[in-house]
Structure 1
Amino acid sequence: MSQRVSQGRQADLNFNVNRKILMFTGASGGHIMPALALRRYFPLAPIVAIRAGATEALLKDRENVVFIQPLAFKKLSIEALKDLFRAVLFALKFRSERILCFGSYLNAVGVFCARVSGAKLFFFEPNAVAGKGTALLSCFADKIFFMFQPRRKYKNSVLCKFPVSAGKPGRDEARSRLGLDPGKPLILILGGSQGSSFINDLVLRLLPRLGFAQIVHITGEADFMRVNAAYAAHKGKHLILPACHYMSILYSAADAAVSRAGAGTLADLAFYKIPSLLIPYPLAGAHQEKNADFFSDPPSAIIIRQAEVDEDKILTAIEDLVSDNFWKLKENLAKISLSDDGADLAAKLTA
């Protein structure tokens, strides 16, 4: 359990770093990335995170991180319970003034620690439809920060921008660092932190017809080998990655994106003003479809439901996105303000 303290950017802060805050995050990039972005303003804030591939890759070299084994409620392990107990003891010993939970069952751990220690409790809920960890425990939170206007009314809800990495190298600089052509359209293919087999397969079927563009494709770990092999047999300059932890460079280089509609991805696409084709994941309560609806009025992205996907329709949408055909969509996208470098959430936490 690392308890080293980083001095970070303490001299540059506009917030009192002595106001302690403790963060609990789930196992996905959508939980971890906003917590890391918020550390710009609270560099001393410990993070309690569920140990998984994404969390270890993003947090293993960070200071003040406490990992716990994931809990499988149908098959509880002694080690996972011990980890959870140690994390609770750490949280109580730290005696934070504020506890901020980014989702998953760790919201319940945050509730327990806040009730015992007397800390103020906050939930960060980026989806248009609140997850179970937020909805079931909402009455315990002092405030719930939403990126989208929630579909259900919560008396303690506050609208808030999603914290993102916020680095913005120039387009040509980003492409140079990636070894890609500065003059050819660049399409970014995203399936969320775990990747999307559906989008991977769709793009591979279209690959012979995408010769007008270069592609950066994030496949997810499970599909990387087969997708990479398919690109290797195809002529063109492309970059295929199982995952990426320098997304600001990819976003800065891209002309358009084909993506799922997870909240964190939408926040990034809005921040970097990337015209996008969104294919929301249809399961998990269809929360991604509700997220994508935000971009439908006024039209700020092309949205195609998975059940309505047709290869010709997808190809036409991609061609339009990298051309000037959708100037009104791009104009609407420029007006969206869903995300920032963490300043909005930091200010509202300390208000």
Structure 2
Amino acid sequence: MTETPTRLLVAASGTGGHLFPAIATADSLSDYHIEWLGVPDRLETQLVPQKYPIHTIAVGGFQGKPGLGTLMTGTRLATAILKARHLLKQGNFQGVFTTGGYIAAPAILAARSLRLPIILHESNALPGKVTRWLAPRCTQVAIGFAVAARYLPKAQTTVVGTPVRADFTNESEPLEFPIPDHAPLVVVLGGSQGAVAVNRLVRAAAPAWLEAGIWIVHLTGNLDPDAHSLQHPHYIAMPFYDHIAPLLKRANFAVSRAGAGTLTELAITKTPAILIPYPYAAEDHQTFNAKVFAQQGAAVLIQQQDLTPEQLQGKVLYLLGDSTGLNRMAEAAGSLAVVDSANRLAEVVRAVVV
């Protein structure tokens, strides 16, 4: 008699930072029956349906000062909890796994009301307010950075790293760009929302880099009106790029924001970096992430308000000219990588949702 597979509801929504770790973990649970819970018109509605059945519930986040908007968001949250509870009961799900986003709160609270096991993954060094509130209500909280545990004193935590897409750990496809093998390559990463301020700094510094024979691949995001203002045969600008693994494996250096997912990719590919945290991230959590890498010697942390084009230009040229120092940074980045993070997180799920 064939055993019925364990039914797991994955709740992950919003950005790649929430979705890619959830997808990687779900893919490591091939013996489970998995369905997805997300939010309409978010990235999951594009990435998930080809892999897993998806359900969506409209819910927003709590932002700004308390007022009418907060009351409306609270009402939507209560409605979302009831809908999630109905879905969990109707689908006979045996547990919930979430990596955050707006959908995390209703999924966790609905599962809690049904006394179902819950696993929450937190990728940032400084967990957000919602995570700090919900973590004690979860059966297990898996964390990407060990330092995050100090902010979750009432939760059961275990360090697993942050899962990445399979092409980072598998043999990835060749680089699509005609960059000579001997040429130094700098990759600029602004995160899923882009980074207009970083883009401006890079474009101002880039002429000196190009003159020095450096190639640049610049992922600008789609919010920069000046994205194509710099033209050069060795400067490649595009809003996004799907095949980031071979690009970072080829890169000698990166200039990047400090989202947890991007840092995980830099660690696995052993890519030294200058990290410029997004200054308006909630509770400045990108700075907390970047400090972990800077303290390890894997990256240089510079706050956006402290950085001029001349400083960025000189720092990159200096670091690329110091092969010994660059190798030390690469090895330090690699020491922060948890290559089997998806499998570790899957094992946490297996231990809790049976």
TM bucket normalised to smaller: 0.7 to 0.9
- Secondary structure of the 1:226 match is coil
**Is 1:65 matched up with 2:48?**
no
Work out the CA distance in 1 between the residues paired with 2:164 and 2:256.
17
Work out the CA distance in 1 between the residues paired with 2:142 and 2:117.
14
The residue aligned with 2:66 is none
Q: CA deviation at 1:70?
A: 4.7
The residue aligned with 2:65 is none
Any conservation in 2 of the 1:184–1:213 contact (CA below 8 Å)?
A: yes
Work out the CA distance in 2 between the residues paired with 1:135 and 1:77.
18
1:108-129 deviations in Å (ceiling 9; x for gaps): 2122321243320111111111
Work out the CA distance in 2 between the residues paired with 1:108 and 1:347.
23
The residue aligned with 1:291 is 289
The residue aligned with 1:3 is none
The residue aligned with 1:100 is 97
**Is 1:164 matched up with 2:164?**
yes
Q: CA deviation at 1:160?
A: 1.2
- Secondary structure of the 2:10 match is strand
Superposed, which structure 2 residues align to 1:179-258 within 5 Å?
Answer: 179-211=178-210, 212-223=213-224, 226-227=226-227, 229-231=228-230, 234-258=231-255
1:126 to 112, 123, 126: 123
Query: Which stretch has the larger CA shift, 99-108 or 288-297?
Result: 99-108
The residue aligned with 2:20 is 33
Q: CA deviation at 1:105?
A: 3.5
What TM-score, normalized by structure 1, do the two folds share? 0.84
Q: CA deviation at 1:183?
A: 2.7
**Is 1:50 matched up with 2:33?**
no
Structure 2: stretches of 5+ with no match in the other structure: 63-68
Give the 3 Å change call, closer, same or farther, for CA 57–243 of structure 1 in structure 2: farther
The residue aligned with 2:307 is 309
Work out the CA distance in 1 between the residues paired with 2:135 and 2:75.
29
Q: CA deviation at 1:78?
A: 11
Work out the CA distance in 2 between the residues paired with 1:80 and 1:243.
32
Any conservation in 2 of the 1:23–1:35 contact (CA below 8 Å)?
A: yes
Work out the CA distance in 2 between the residues paired with 1:191 and 1:221.
10
Q: Letter of the 1:192 partner, please give it.
A: G
Give the 3 Å change call, closer, same or farther, for CA 31–72 of structure 1 in structure 2: closer
What TM-score, normalized by structure 2, do the two folds share? 0.83
Work out the CA distance in 1 between the residues paired with 2:241 and 2:46.
10
1:17-39 deviations in Å (ceiling 9; x for gaps): 92322111131110011011112
Give the 3 Å change call, closer, same or farther, for CA 31–181 of structure 1 in structure 2: same
Superposed, which structure 2 residues align to 1:263-302 within 5 Å?
Answer: 263-283=260-280, 284-302=282-300
The residue aligned with 1:331 is 331
Work out the CA distance in 1 between the residues paired with 2:76 and 2:156.
36
1:300-321 deviations in Å (ceiling 9; x for gaps): 1111112221222212222244
- Secondary structure of the 1:145 match is strand
Give the 3 Å change call, closer, same or farther, for CA 84–187 of structure 1 in structure 2: farther
Give the 3 Å change call, closer, same or farther, for CA 138–318 of structure 1 in structure 2: same
- Secondary structure of the 1:277 match is strand
The residue aligned with 1:318 is 316
Give the 3 Å change call, closer, same or farther, for CA 89–238 of structure 1 in structure 2: farther
Please report the RMSD computed on the Cα atoms of aligned residues, expressed in angstroms.
2.8
Count of equivalent residues: 330
1:98-147 deviations in Å (ceiling 9; x for gaps): 21121133222122321243320111111111112211122211111111
Q: CA deviation at 1:330?
A: 2.4
Any conservation in 2 of the 1:189–1:259 contact (CA below 8 Å)?
A: yes
- Secondary structure of the 1:101 match is strand
Q: CA deviation at 1:296?
A: 2.3
1:213-233 deviations in Å (ceiling 9; x for gaps): 22221111212x521x213xx
- Secondary structure of the 1:167 match is helix
Work out the CA distance in 2 between the residues paired with 1:50 and 1:321.
43
Any conservation in 1 of the 2:163–2:342 contact (CA below 8 Å)?
A: yes
- Secondary structure of the 1:102 match is strand
Work out the CA distance in 1 between the residues paired with 2:320 and 2:27.
34
Give the 3 Å change call, closer, same or farther, for CA 316–268 of structure 1 in structure 2: same
1:159-197 deviations in Å (ceiling 9; x for gaps): 1121111325779x633x234333321111111111111
Work out the CA distance in 2 between the residues paired with 1:86 and 1:269.
38
Structure 1: stretches of 5+ with no match in the other structure: 1-15
Give the 3 Å change call, closer, same or farther, for CA 252–82 of structure 1 in structure 2: same
